[in-house]
Structure 1
Amino acid sequence: MILQGMKMNSQTFRHVTPTRTPAAYIGGKRNLARQICAMISEIPHATYAECFVGMGGIFLRRSSAPPAEVINDFGGDVANLFRILQRHYPQFMDMLKFQVSSRREFDRLKACDPSTLTDLERAARFLYMQRLSFGGRVNGHFGIDPSRGGSFNITKLAPVLEEIHERLAGVVIENRRWQDFMRLYDRPGTLFYLDPPYFGNENDYGEGMFDRSQFVDMAERLSDLKGRFILSINDNETIRELFSAFDILPVELTYSVAGGKRAKRARELIIRSRE
């Protein structure tokens, strides 16, 4: 759908119920979600397109949606998990029902080559590891918290996964490089949300997934965009310079560390199209 000279109103959007994410993920947007979701809801658009969906920290927390929604992640495990939740939810739950939190099982699955698994097995492996991995890091270490029970508790997880399954109805799920994804869906009326790896942490999601030179490419592509965009990234002078052609909103955040016993301050940027 293309918007040309047409202003969207609130009736164009439908209400959707915000849901929790299926697991923690490095670079999750819990602290910025409310602000970013508010910005998204204020921008007229017919298609919402998210380039780096991760565990859905923004996508799943929105309370309104346009006629078309597309989510993308170049990480095959991410895209596969959402496709399985969308299309094979009952079978997926059958696979998870007897799983327990266990370091031995975590290490066994970590050593397993995902390419040898079926899509259902791969999704179950990925979700299990993300639930139990320290800090939600991709292929991280088994995380423990003596003050809490095991993070993989199917009785608590099942309602979350059911909500996500329902939320994904009608959503298109892509597994492309962000450049190809933007090229495919860019048109007037599309709003892109981009949450790329942080500057200085380009390899956190795996070797070859993203490199620093892509920030230059990203700034150039956004300059020629037919649609509109919102981008979130850590505050850095190089980033400020690269994206200086756009509106840049600095944000100060406080993160809890060491199990919530200490607070860490951080500066991030929300960058968006100019009117």
Structure 2
Amino acid sequence: MVPLHLSPVAPVRPVAPYIGGKKALARRLAARIAAVPHVTYAEVFVGMGGVFLRREARPKAEVINDYSEDVATFFRVVRHHYQAFLDMLRFQISSRTEFERLAAQDPGTLTDLQRSARFLYLQKLAFGGKVARRNFGVSMGRPARFDVTKVAPMLEDLHERLAGVTIERLPWSEFIRRYDRAGTLFYLDPPYYGCEGDYGRELFDRSQFVAMAGQLRRISGRFILSLNDHPDVREIFAGFEMEEVGLRYTVGGMANSQQARELIISN
């Protein structure tokens, strides 16, 4: 049942995997988000939208943010240039040679459409949804990972879901300052503690967790933050509510699954 302060919305599958995408935790997080009264939903590290897109209810205003230029450009292109973007992908196939060629390209030399096509292709084919130091992924006994006949309807769904959504590319701290209001609910999914370089070392470093905790203690709005359970994380975010969640993560098949603990931290 959708809370009175929200409107129903159909969940949408993320178009490509993204490391730390929260698939296993998305249902629980979506329920926690829906239970908090808010006028504006603001997601600080959206990635490929693993939580944002799986929600079944939304408030009047939604804002997504990611300081990765690839991510922010991708969402803007899908929202504003969906048909032209789809045309660029129409004849693309899964190929190790093409993957390695695109991985070697400097995305700064490309147009927004080219950059987004490169980003989506690499994310679809990269092992484990890796962003930094990508490797070509092969799943034995499964069809090729990049199939435009499957990608096209997913992009159409994403295009429609992004209607009315504000897309930002700001450092996390500036984004929080800009959108902090009494009626704002922030969801934060920063890099795992100890794995800060997984998204590119220039985007986030370990020292920023202390700054994040300090800023969240001063905001006017509400927040929900998901992070791996680590003694340092518990110390840094001491004083906030913490829910411990046990999960099983799988990368490259059940043979590589492993138990993990996450914390859902909130004010």
Q: Tell me the TM-score range normalised by the shorter chain.
A: over 0.9
Aligned with residue 63 of structure 1, among 48, 56, 67: 56
Measured in 1, the distance between the counterparts of 2:179 and 2:162 equals 19
Residue 243 of structure 1 aligns with an amino acid whose one-letter code is F
2:224 is the alignment partner of 1:230: yes
Aligned with residue 28 of structure 2, among 16, 32, 35: 35
2:124 is the alignment partner of 1:145: no
Name 1:196's counterpart in structure 2.
190
Matches within 5 A, 1:102-181: 102-139=95-132, 140-181=134-175
Name 2:94's counterpart in structure 1.
101
Runs of 4+ in 1 over 2 A off after TM superposition: 9-12
Per-residue Cα deviation, 1:109-133 (whole angstroms, up to 9, x for no partner): 0111101110000000000000000
Measured in 1, the distance between the counterparts of 2:165 and 2:203 equals 24
Segment drifting more, 252-261 vs 169-178: 252-261
Aligned residues: 265
Aligned with residue 12 of structure 1, among 1, 5, 26: 5
Residue 106 of structure 1 aligns with an amino acid whose one-letter code is F
Q: Contact 2:3–2:34 (CA<8 Å) still a contact in 1?
A: no
Per-residue Cα deviation, 1:216-245 (whole angstroms, up to 9, x for no partner): 000000000100000000000111011111
Per-residue Cα deviation, 1:129-164 (whole angstroms, up to 9, x for no partner): 000001000140101112111110010111111111
The structural deviation recorded for 1:261 is 2.8
The structural deviation recorded for 1:263 is 3.2
3-state SS of paired residue (2:190): coil
3-state SS of paired residue (1:204): helix
Residue 36 of structure 2 aligns with an amino acid whose one-letter code is I
Measured in 2, the distance between the counterparts of 1:108 and 1:178 equals 32
Measured in 2, the distance between the counterparts of 1:11 and 1:259 equals 40
Per-residue Cα deviation, 1:15-60 (whole angstroms, up to 9, x for no partner): 1100100100011100000000000000000000000000000000
Name 1:216's counterpart in structure 2.
210
The structural deviation recorded for 1:262 is 4.6
Aligned with residue 249 of structure 1, among 240, 243, 247: 243
3-state SS of paired residue (1:142): coil
Q: CA RMSD for the aligned pairs?
A: 1.1
Per-residue Cα deviation, 1:183-222 (whole angstroms, up to 9, x for no partner): 0000100000000000000111002110111000000000
Using the aligned pairs only, state the percent identity: 57
Measured in 2, the distance between the counterparts of 1:251 and 1:215 equals 20
Measured in 1, the distance between the counterparts of 2:160 and 2:199 equals 27
The structural deviation recorded for 1:257 is 4.1
3-state SS of paired residue (2:202): coil
For structure 2, the 5+ residue unaligned runs are none
For structure 1, the 5+ residue unaligned runs are 1-8
2:47 is the alignment partner of 1:54: yes
Name 1:80's counterpart in structure 2.
73
The structural deviation recorded for 1:82 is 0.4
The structural deviation recorded for 1:10 is 3.2
Residue 228 of structure 1 aligns with an amino acid whose one-letter code is R
